[in-house]
A and B are shown apart, each in its own frame.
Chain A
Amino acid sequence: MGKTLIEKIIARASGKGEVKAGEIVFASPYRILSHDNSAAISKIFKEMGAERVWDPERIFIALDHAVPPSDEKKALNHKLIREFVRAQGIKHFYDCGVGICHQVLPEYGHVIPGSLILGSDSHTTTHGAFAAAGIAIGRTETASVWALGKTWLKVPQTIKIILKGKLKKGVYAKDVILYLIGQIGADGANYKSVEFAGEMVEGMSVSERMTISNLSAEMGAKAAIFPFDETTRKWLEPRVQQPYEPLYADEDAFYEKILEYNLSDLEPQVACPHKVDNVHALKELGKVKIDVALLGTCTNGRLDDLKIASEIVAGKKIAPGVRLLVYPASQEVLKEALKLGYIEKLVEAGAEIAIPSCGPCLGAYGGVLAPGEKCISSANRNFKGRMGCKEDTEIYLASPATVAASALAGFITAEV
């Protein structure tokens, strides 16, 4: 019986010839990612009696959650992280403003195909876009990996998702993954690895793949992997210095399930409050007035997302009373978007441009909703209270195009 991608990647990361689903192995990551939670992790690390990290070359930290810090506590949190980075000689540290961890990690060449990326953040699945396994773990476990260089993993079963057809104009990767989550359910891929395949996948950009891998966390996926191809190679070429050897699933690999979708007729989708799998075609919604439109985050804050949104709002003004918040995913994205005039168009339409960061997505900092407010968002979670306030607030998730069109209209729409 052949092997799936996750079986091959975990076999490599555990130094074993081969592994099979269900087996428990000890694996060592190519990179281990964390963010503002690194101070808490370093505290656990010290409490464990650890003195030095196992390999300062493999630890990646980007400050992105509370950026720039809004109060003394959050500022101190960042200071503790910088001190730890210095004391341990951690090589890959990106301070406030460089960008969101899941964007910065690939941009700076820290993911290679076939590698295992562990991360103390639930959206670590994002790195599956690069034919790698991005697996999320918790803080204590991250501290343990910092100390020991490895952790135990159960090799998951794999669900293969084959995407066929060609998306209509105005329908995007975000609509695809929202639709899939609606079909598969919030726990439909729990404990599983997902492998994407099919003609639609072949035509997708790296950014689109990142959106899909990122949101696969919302159907419970342990990893969500795209196959390596010319698109991956080209994107990585200017960023990754060292040679790498991609891994491929075997033709006769065993899949627990194979799901096939033809998405040529797909319409813009919306995940309605308060669950990400509460997905409806936008046209089925009644008129939902909005107060805030959020564009950005690790799901949809990349150059193509800002381009799409800026073209929609170009020469127009957002509806009176609506706030359009724009959070580019990284400095690199922001710089390009400035150069290409996207930011200017957004600002002229009335957008508030923020520093590259996670911003209001998790309600920890910035862009918090007031009681009774509704938000259309390009982010990844619409849980009750997610954006900092639970009293009658509602969050709707959609593509950057829908966010931009809705900001203009004042209600949820994809019409431009």
Chain B
Amino acid sequence: MKTLVSIDIGSTWTKGATFSLTASGLELLERVSVPTTQNNLVVGFHETLARLLHQDSHTSLEELKDRAEVFFSSSAKGGLRIAAIGLVPDLTLQLAKLAAMSAGGKVIKSFSFSLTSSDVKELEQLSPDIILFSGGTDGGNSKYVLENARKLESSRLSCPIVYAGNRAVAEEAINVMKSREVIVTENLMPEIGQVNIEPAREKIREIFLKRIVVGRGLAEIVELFGAQPKPTPLAVFELISAIPEFYPEWSDLAAIDIGGATTDFYSNTESYLETDTVVLKGIREPKVKRTVEGDLGMRVSARSLFETGQDYLQDRLREEGLEFKDMEEFVGRISDKIDYLPVGDKEKIFDRLLAEACVYYAALRHIGGWKEVYTPQGKVYMQTGKDLRRVKAIIGSGGFLSEERTAAVMAIPLKKLRNYGEEIKLLPEKPDFYRDRYYLFSLLGNLIEKYPREASTLAVASVEKLNQKGEQND
């Protein structure tokens, strides 16, 4: 038997679990959480590890290290902050955003066409961790890319720049940006409509390891354990990618992870089925896709969620017979005190409505749609974005959804989306809902690289199917 430890250093909590690995597979032994120590992440990490291994807190990390195989991830203050630069909004910029999000990043701002001097100023102020710089197909447009390269060169930005634009001028672009750290990778869109986000994702991941880890004590952990941390969302992304490889019955899968600051939506399903009556517009999205919404969250982002989610929330409050201004007050309270727990039935409903709104808007942005068009040849559908109709399972993760005993929080908003605007949203048709019962997904994601089968098996075994009728399961 081997003991594995997986630790996820989140923005508020450092979560950890111990697993036993035997011939028959992976088994969860224990799960703990301690507050994250922001100034020096090692302290919280150390405490988590000591508690998981039942040692007193004075045991040195060196000693603890030999007692288990340790894996860890870090959300890096709520995810890597990436600024995306592309050319046309619906083409290279769209892909830059997708690549950044699939690599576990948060797109803090995106820019199309030429950067203006106020754009550059804004970039300097935002001070992103990485700039993902794309534009032009291979051999295609170079004017904008080179012009933007010159502007980046003369800016006061210091972050690494991942160049994933027109390959034909890659060298020229490096020359222009000679005082910057530029990492060149393959073009995100070598040809119109051809999606190639993997190489850029990989580079972003590498930079995450090298750059972001330095400074808050993570380097010490890396050196000691000889292992690299993963960005937390990437861990989940890899788990969602891996599960169907070992469990084909779990293909066509989606997951929603609602946190305090962001809501992540993952899907693993073919994005477009070509038929005579459906024409795809824009890019063909990747099979495994992650989107992250920085304005949707239960606490840190509660205020922005309340603003974004007005329409949905007004509608739901009416149905629940509750007052808008009461909820507004509640949102004010939880925003001022982000560890506030709802008291009484009314506040609990407000909290659930916030979660519903997260699901609603995250799904709205993640999932594509059809527009009906009448042509002389008959009715045709124009599809933009990703088709999730075949998704059979939707798993809720994150602090809130892991605790949720009914499917309603996910099912109600998805049902409401059916009548969104004129577009037909390509929602999962008859999904089953599950919860990540022990809130293990990010922790299991850390194990994926080394133990893909074992981690996938435990992930599948630890989810619980939720009752869709609204009654509690136990």
Partners in one complex: no
